[in-house]
Structures are given as C-alpha cells and as structure tokens.
C-alpha cells in the first residue's frame, strides 16, 4: 500500500481567550486514492481540524504531513504556496469570484501554483473537459458565476479543486444545501473524478447518510479530543 497522502501525528491546538478550547488529534491518515468521510456536529472541531490540515493555522505541537512534506515545519509563505500546489478545497459556500467567468474561476488556483499548472498540458482545455465531465453545459465555461444555479456553482467549485490534479481534496460540508437526489448526483460526479486520478478525498459533514459512498467513515470524537475553557 502506498504511503499516506495525509498523516497527522500527536497534534494539539488551543484557541486562546475566554471562549477558547483545545483540540488534540493523536493520529489521522488518508491513503492515496482513499475517500474518507469525517462526521461531527457543529462545534465538534471539524473546521479547526481542516484549518490545521490546510496550514492556515499551526498546531502548538505535533506534525501534519501532506504528500511527504511536513507542513508544520514550513514558513507561512511556504505553507501558502504548498497548499495551492497540493490541496484542492471545496468550500461550503463555494467562494467563487461572482463576476469572473466559469473558466477563470476554475483556472484561478493555477495562477498561484506553477507545479500544479505544469501537470496539465493545456489548462483552458482541461477546464473545459472538467466542466463537461461534471455535467455543465458547453456554454457554461464562458458564463459568469452569478448566472449559474446553485448546483452548477457547486460543480464549478469541484472543477476548481480538481484542476491540476492535487493529491488531496478537502471538502467542507459541500452537500449541506442539497436535497437527497442532488446530493447523489453531486457525489457521483465527484467520485468519478477522484477515482480517475487516484486523488485522496477528506470530506467533513454532519450527515451520516453519506457514509456508504466512502471507503472509510470516521466520527471526529473517535480521533479527536476537545476541552472547552471554563466559563
């Protein structure tokens, strides 16, 4: 079995202040090509864990290793560059540039990630292929993000995360606004793409009904401990 794309070891982080809490994660790993669903209710530490994985915050102790690089040892600028190159993120609110075209939204990560850009021979053509594979109409690539339906915007967000084949995709509650049929269609499209490129997927959600689609389902309380500050 290939080594893990994501490996977390003995990580601890404490939010400071009156409403602070501490999060401890002894171990979590995601193998190459593996899909993992991380379940937890609101306030269970999921967002903090994603921030630690993406390197937007640093743990007080422990190691976070992605694609063989220990990101906890990098400077802030180096972590930003590494994240752009190695991690595709699907945000809950999509975070598209509203008045940019679909093509420009999809290609945006490549502007900051030359290694990722070099993984595709023709970035514009790759963006169009992703749009087609994700079920967007041919003319959508030229449309403004604001002209799309919510479901179509979600597919653009997926294409933006996938462009340039980053080894790890992080998805933050991407199906929370969808009905059951739309959820199933979205997951069909997402899994088809990550399977094609052996991409690792870590999705966080509060919905256990999604679990049957994933290689592994983890309850956050089974891998993490939270201590809240006394009030």
pLDDT in tens, 55-82: 999 999 999 999 999 999 999 999 999 9
Distance CA 3, CA 1 (A): 6
Mode of pairing for the β-strands spanning 35-39 and 216-219: parallel
Residues 6+ apart with CB under 8 A from 65: 4, 6, 7, 8, 9, 71
- Does the pTM surpass 0.85? The reply is yes
| Annotated domain spans of the chain | 32-56+74-218
110-134 pLDDT, tens digit each: 998 999 999 999 999 999 999 988 8
* Homologous superfamily in CATH for domain 32-56+74-218: P-loop containing nucleotide triphosphate hydrolases (3.40.50.300)
- Average pLDDT over the chain reads 90
Q: 150-162 and 123-133 helices cross at what angle (nearest 10)?
A: 130
């Amino acid at each position: 079995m290939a080594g893990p794309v994501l490996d977390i070891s003995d990580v601890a982080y404490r939010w400071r202040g009156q409403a602070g809490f501490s999060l401890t994660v002894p171990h979590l790993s995601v193998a190459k090509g593996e899909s993992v669903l991380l379940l937890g209710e609101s306030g269970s530490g999921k967002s903090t864990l994603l921030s630690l994985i993406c390197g937007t915050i640093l743990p007080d102790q422990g190691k976070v290793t992605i694609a063989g690089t220990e990101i906890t040892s990098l400077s802030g600028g180096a972590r930003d560059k590494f994240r752009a190159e190695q991690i595709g993120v699907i945000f809950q609110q999509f975070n598209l540039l509203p008045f940019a075209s679909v093509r420009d939204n999809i290609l945006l990560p490549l502007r900051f990630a030359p290694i990722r850009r070099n993984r595709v021979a023709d970035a514009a053509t790759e963006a169009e292929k992703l749009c087609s594979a994700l079920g967007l109409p041919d003319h959508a690539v030229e449309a403004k993000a604001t002209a799309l339906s919510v479901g179509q915007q979600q597919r653009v967000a997926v294409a933006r995360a996938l462009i340039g084949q980053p080894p790890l995709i992080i998805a933050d509650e991407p199906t929370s606004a969808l009905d059951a049929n739309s959820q199933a269609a979205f997951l069909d499209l997402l899994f088809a793409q990550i399977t094609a490129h052996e991409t690792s997927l870590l999705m966080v959600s509060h919905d256990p009904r999604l679990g049957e689609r994933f290689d592994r389902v983890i309850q956050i309380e089974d891998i993490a401990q939270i201590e809240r500050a006394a009030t």
